[in-house]
Amino acid sequence: MPRVARVRSLLMGATVLAGALMSGESFAQEDTIKVGILHSLSGTMAISETTLKDVMLMLIEEQNKKGGLLGKKLEAVVVDPASDWPLFAEKARDLLEKEKVAAVFGCWTSVSRKSVLPVFEELNGLLFYPVQYEGEESQRNVFYTGAAPNQQAIPAVDYLMDVEGVERWVLAGTDYVYPQTTNKILQAYLESKGVAPEDIMINYTPFGHSDWQTIVTDIKNFGSAGKKTAVVSTINGDANVPFYKELANQGIKAEDIPVVAFSVGEEELAGIDTEPLVGHLAAWNYFQSVDTEANAEFIETWHAFIGDDKRVTNDPMEAHYIGFNMWVKAVEKAGTTDPDAVIDAIIGVSVPNLSGGYSTMMPNHHITKPVLIGEIQSDGQFEIVWETPGLVVGDEWSDYLPDSKDLIADWRAPLSCGNFNVATGKCGGKGIN
């Protein structure tokens, strides 16, 4: 085991904590704990983020039915940053300074998360971030309940390489930090596995990109070299709809050039004719098709809340489910919503996930998750074709990047560092890369 892995394993040992949610008596209507919801309800990311606002409203309503939190009712404060990255920071400041929210659940893109990080640090707020991201970060005020690259991207590549026999790779993404950094990690990982640079094609497009004909033609030509080829997609938002349509238009089938996506789930597929896409893949940590009692109950509650039995669930919704319940449990453990107390209390907290196990908040502010590969079905759902045998701990700093391989994060005292260098024995700063 590499030195950094041994140190990480030692520092990140966490105990699964027991405890039940309080079932309080009645509470005063006006005595509330405010919870911020920071998701785009308009613009290019609304296709993905609106559902996350809805599930947060459901979770808050369900918690209030149980008696609220610390004897107080939870009150949702919803804002719309409108897929405008600077506006995320402005709205975050409003939530913390004006609304005095106890915690914020929000952001999707990494550029939106990067935009709000200085605000949460300055004002000592709490952000629960529910979406897969590029890693290379651990901030004291942020809890990363989505997947790090080792919990999604790298296992997906391993699956394609080992099971599908893929030898040539198209890394296609939207032009911003998450795809760029994830692909940098994947390129280094592929080359460490012996993949030649000429067998890796990298392409970026703007948010909302709609004309995919030339790019898909390039992918088709790249895949005609006699080696099994796959597309690893970090395309985000509503650009996925014309991308998949163009794949179908050009007759690219999953058996020819499979696509594995990291930002396409059940919600995104709801707007696409999925019949030509059957067999293409997605890597997540949850699918609606997971067959567990906990998931069946979650789906039933969701359909009743939203009033539509056809509304789907997806991975970032489960991440909010996990993160919200972790926050509730940490507040109860601390006996207060004070951010410093909650930050100390939440490490080691374990709550049920929807795949039949428990997820734990680790000292690096990332959680343990299973990794699932799903195959698109004609009804817009996923058949799970592969999963890890157990839970995977989120790795905040990549072992495959020279500047990161010796770094770990541990927010427990006395270390309290987001980028501790195990080679030098020094903390590099505040943990924001």
DSSP letters of 102-166? SEEEE--SHHHHHHHHHHHHHHT--EEE-S--------TTEEE-S--GGGTHHHHHHHHHHTS--
Which residues, in sequence order, are CB contacts of 310 under 8 Å at separation 6+?
none
Q: What's the token pair of residue 106?
A: 């929000």
DSSP letters of 11-35? HT--PPPP----------TT-EEEE
Omega into 414 within 30° of 0, i.e. cis? yes
- State whether residue 74 is helix, strand or coil: strand
pTM: predicted TM-score of the whole model, two decimal places:
0.88
Domain ranges of the chain: 3-146+291-368
Q: What does CATH list as the number for 3-146+291-368?
A: 3.40.50.2300
Residues 432 and 423: their CA atoms lie apart, in Å, by 19
Q: pLDDT of the chain along its 433 residues, tens only?
A: 454 454 454 444 433 333 333 333 344 445 899 999 999 999 989 988 999 999 999 999 999 999 999 999 999 999 999 999 999 999 999 999 999 999 999 999 999 999 999 999 999 999 999 999 999 999 999 999 999 999 999 999 999 999 999 999 999 999 999 999 999 999 999 999 999 999 999 999 999 899 999 999 999 999 999 999 999 999 988 888 889 889 989 999 999 999 999 988 898 888 678 887 889 999 999 999 999 999 999 999 999 999 999 999 999 999 999 999 999 999 999 999 999 999 999 999 999 999 989 999 999 999 999 999 999 999 999 999 999 989 999 999 999 999 999 999 999 999 999 999 999 999 985 444 4
